[in-house]
A and B are shown apart, each in its own frame.
Chain A
Amino acid sequence: MTPTLFGFLRLFAQLGILVFALCPSLTADEVHLLGTPRLEMGTNQIVIRWSTDQQAGTSVLFGPVTERPTRRIKGKVGTSHAVELPGLEPGIRYRVILGTARNPLQTNEFVLPSGTVSSPTVVPLAVIIPIHPAATTTGTTSNTIAWHSDSKVQLAKSELDSATASVVAQPNAPPARETWSHPDTVQDHFRRHGADFHARDTEEYAAKAWRFRQQAAASGFLVKKDKKGVLRIYDPASDTFGAYNPDGATRTFFKPGKKGYFDHQPGKLVKLHE
């Protein structure tokens, strides 16, 4: 694949990605995504892959964003999930909802580039925009689909403002007093940066920072380690930055909003092990 084509695909993957329905009733079985789902483009097939924190079924519903998605593919029970999406055409914006057999976990949008794919390419579907879950009342509205007999998902409007995108953060996190460096300071960081992540309180903010660290390896985030062992982690897709002490405690967590910020961070690029 040419660099231009890859850039094109990345752009659409970043801009067009949607939704996760954050609903206590839908997440009551505590199955959570681990890391970031990935779209793998081979020379003649498209596969979406994701991981969950516990054994769960595999289910995908997809179709063009101009229609209600109707094509469903189910897979095996496990923690690593992979589904081939057949019959996709370049230039068309698709919506894909992935989840367990019982509940949807995340919705993304993507557009395949035109032209020939000459080598396999992986696109992380890193940024999502949370939406409200479907109401649990009976009946189905025009933008609501049934996922399971007792769970529904509400489809978001296509092409939502990427500025409101936030990082998917779902594994259960320890309390802030256990994850934050100098725990009494977390409220200061929340006050300055909590809004970047739509965090409602210090606990939610600290939990998102902790999850960001946990997801770093699987999601392929950029990581630098300085001479003192401090890790600086950056996800370009969501413009999210976190700094972590050698013991893993969070120092800070924010969206830099400044192009090239991570390039100027100290330390050497390292690869984290999952």
Chain B
Amino acid sequence: MNDRTVNKLSGGYSCQVCGYPELQYPPRDSDGIASLEICPSCGYQPGYDDDCLGRSTDEARALWIESGRKWWSTRPRPEG
């Protein structure tokens, strides 16, 4: 478990790009292993965006902010 990404309120893990607090897995665990989980908020997928596309979390965050912090997934956005 990667404590840095645990969200104390939601019990989920926080996205390292947008801060979405309800990921199922830590984006990278204590061994640095990527979750491969896609963040529904910004669309970032650790283990793919960084390892395959060379897109760092900083770059992805800048893009996400530039695009107006839009909700990425077609799943409904949680309230709050």
Contacts and interface: CB of A to CB of B under 8 A. Distances in A.
Interface of A: 182, 184-185, 187-189, 191-192, 226-227, 243, 251-252, 254, 256-258, 261, 264, 266
Contacts of B40: 185, 188
21 contacts: A184-B75, A185-B24, A185-B75, A187-B74, A188-B73, A189-B38, A192-B45, A243-B36, A251-B37, A252-B37, A252-B38, A252-B47, A254-B48, A256-B48, A256-B51, A257-B52, A258-B51, A258-B52, A261-B51, A264-B51, A266-B33
Contacts of A191: 73-74
Given A182-B24, A258-B51, A258-B52, A227 B37 contact: no
A192 B52 contact: no
Contacts of A187: 73-75
**Do most interface residues of chain B lie in helix, strand or loop, or is the interface mixed?**
loop
Interface of B: 24, 31, 33, 36-38, 40, 43, 45, 47-48, 51-52, 72-75
A215 B80 CA distance: 43
A121 B58 CA distance: 47
9 interchain residue pairs of minimum CB distance: A188-B38, A252-B36, A258-B52, A256-B52, A266-B33, A251-B36, A243-B36, A188-B73, A187-B74
A158 B38 CA distance: 38
Contacts of A185: 24, 37-38, 40, 75
A185 B37 CA distance: 9
Contacts of A257: 52
B29 to A, nearest CB: 8
Contacts of A254: 48, 52
A256 B52 CA distance: 6
Contact of B52 (A188, A227, A261): A261
Contacts of A258: 51-52
Contact of A252 (B31, B33, B45, B74): B45
B68 to A, nearest CB: 19
Contacts of B37: 185, 251-252
A227 B73 contact: no
Given A182-B24, A261-B52, A188 B31 contact: no
Nearest to B24: A182
B52 A266 contact: no
Contacts of B48: 192, 252, 254, 256
Nearest to B34: A266
A264 B31 CA distance: 13
Most-contacted residue by chain A among B38, B40, B72, B73 (CB, 10 A): B38
Nearest to A266: B33
A192 B31 contact: no
A227 B51 CA distance: 20
Nearest to B76: A184
Nearest to B32: A266
B31 A266 contact: yes
Contacts of B52: 254, 256-258, 261
A144 B75 CA distance: 45
Contacts of A182: 24
A188 B51 CA distance: 18
